[in-house]
Amino acid sequence: AGGGPLLPDSVLYEIFLYLDHVDVLSAGLVCRQWHAVARDEFLWKELFYRYYRISREVPRHPAAVSWYDEFQRLYDTIPCVEVQALKEHNDQVLHLSFSHSGCLFASCSKDCTVKIWSNELDISLQHSSNMRPYNWSYTQFSQFNSDDSLLLVSGVFVGPHNSSSGEIAVISMENFTLLSRVRNKPYDVFGCWLNETNLISGNLHRIGRITSCSVLWLNNAFQGIESENVNVVKRLFKIQNLNASTIRTVMVADCSRYDSPDLLLDYEEQIAASSTSTCPVFDLGSDSEEEEAKPKQMPEPALQEFPDDGGVTAEDGLQQFFDDIMEGRVRPAMTETELETKVAELFVRNRTKPPELNLLSTDSNSKTKYLIFTTGCLTYSPHQIGIKRILPHQMTTAGPVLGEERRSDEFFDSLDHVIDIHGHIIGMGLSPDHRYLYVNSRAWPRDCVISDPMQPPPIAEEIDLHVFDLKTMKEVKRALRAHRAYTPNEECFFIFLDVSRDFVASGAEDRHGYIWDRHYNICLAKLQHDNVVNSVAFSPVEQELLLTASDDTTIKVWRSPRTVRIQQARKPRPRKLLFSWLMNQRS
């Protein structure tokens, strides 16, 4: 009221005790005069840095009008109040995804159903599709296309314990009918939309015990109703895998949005943008806990290259290698695994299509998109992020089925960029503007050596949440931490994260979901469940609404204190209802 703060007196009383120059007695006095305190910028600035333990080198969010407003934003707009628990699933809930309009969301579960929910004040179930008749074991991932008319659902086939086969289904949102089904191997490729009507799937071909080839396919969503004279599938890329690695977890980033991001991460870039614009510019901020605020710069990851042996062809190199083996010149003796990897490397050297133009080129095509996926080169656990440019002419199934502009001796495509994580990647998510890539990983021990690709290093229980700028291909800040995981390498599973304009959220194996502020790099909330939290999802139109999905079979709905307060104010008060009833009885 009267323009004063919305924080209760009791909260103000508690947080004012953090100030050195305010003792208990004066804190009580200040709380009684909180209208005046709300205008004291110096007081709120001191309170802000001390209460949240943020380095003073971190500037205030450039969109904030005052320090008080910024404190209130972090206190009052975090979706940390549980308002509803959805219990319609009867097994572990693995994934959540919102439609772009925010009106619907989908959930996938070990109960082998995908459920569509109506996102109203009280969320309600709108439809449920059971995928068991299609020989699915469970549903694991879903994604709405750009106009929300179609839903991609990814699942796992029933089969042996070590089976890696899956399938992608496309469901119409108009009448919930199944339009098409596409094979997907390995199943944790998940699949994704490239545009309104075309989706990407994967296939895996074994070449040796630890060598394979991943093929990424572009599929038309309407395969069942297309003419037999029109291509409904086309090969996008064919990539060799070494040391038991495979391509997994594909997603698409839209490069056209990089130059107008919702938020800027680098401070110097933020200052430059602020000096050339009169509009508020959002910024991601930097480190916390009194540590150095400058962003951590990683060496720019190199493009994937093959060794140069002074012009020796792959055939000559392979023959020379075999001659060395037969004459005993290979020292020390190589294991069967090392031998297979060496032969594969020699074979692929001149059998790979060269990479596209430099991804960092300033004159990039506005219609270009990046295909982003997890991969590796040392062991089977995903420890690298591969990036491949998708050009405009590749975004349709029209044209040659097996690709174009490929010589007969070019069996494989090279990656345009590779980012090494040095740990097991267990989650990835894009910021809404597609400028930043957030990556959940569990680190390997420092200076570890991998001698057997089937024996990856042990992984940390603490999860690191890395942030990469896809415009510069660099890590731009210190990894976020708070959440934990406990399963070993061979049992490790994906933990989905999500990013809104101001916040990033993630699940964890410690029975909590977590929310961080993207600008200040601080953890703001822990959201409790009774078991592992597998997935989180912000509403794309209302970041003060968050969903969490758990192994406890529930989906929890979280809203901010501000939203809850507004909704409660709109509800009729019981006293007024009683008074109206009494008046009606009298009349």
Would you mind telling me the total number of residues written for the chain in this entry?
Answer: 587
Band of pLDDT at residue 138, cut at 50, 70 and 90? very high
Q: pLDDT > 70: what percent of the chain?
A: 68
Query: Is residue 569's pLDDT more than 90?
Result: no
- Give the count of alpha carbons within 13 A of 16, CB side only: 26
Q: Beta-carbon neighbour count of residue 308 at 10 Å?
A: 8
Residue 383 has a pLDDT of 96
Residues forming a β-bridge with 113: 130
pLDDT tens, 466-500? Answer: 999 999 899 987 788 888 888 887 777 899 999 99
Q: Percentage of the chain with pLDDT > 90? A: 50
Cα–Cα separations (whole angstroms), residue 491 to 350, 511, 550: 37, 17, 17
pLDDT at 155 over 90: yes
- pTM of this prediction? 0.81
- Which of 86, 53, 70, 95 minimizes the C-alpha distance to 427? 95
Which pLDDT value is given to residue 291?
A: 36
Q: In 10 A of CB 156, how many CB atoms?
A: 22
What span, in angstroms and rounded, lies between the C-alpha atoms of 530 and 497?
19
Q: Are 295 and 477 in contact (CB under 8 A)?
A: yes
Structure-token pair, residue 493: 């599973």
Phi, psi at residue 27, to the nearest 5°?
-65, -40
Question: Which CA distances in Å does 427 have to 53, 179, 421, 521, 540?
Answer: 28, 29, 12, 18, 19
Query: Hey, what are 18's tokens?
Result: 């953090």
Over residues 300-320, the pLDDT tens digits come to: 433 343 344 444 555 555 556
Instruction: Give residue 116's identity as a one-letter amino acid code.
Output: I
How many C-beta atoms lie closer than 10 Å to residue 578's C-beta? Answer: 10
pLDDT above 80: residue 509: yes
pLDDT at 284 over 50: no
The number of CA neighbours under 13 Å toward the Cβ of 367 is 6
Strands (E), 255-368: 263-264, 282-283, 352-353
Tokens 């699949």 label which residue? 191
d(CA 148, CA 373): 24
**What domains does the chain contain, in order, with CATH numbers?**
9-77 (1.20.1280), 81-260+366-568 (2.130.10.10)
Q: What is the DSSP string of 235-253?
A: EEEEEEE-TT---EEEEEE
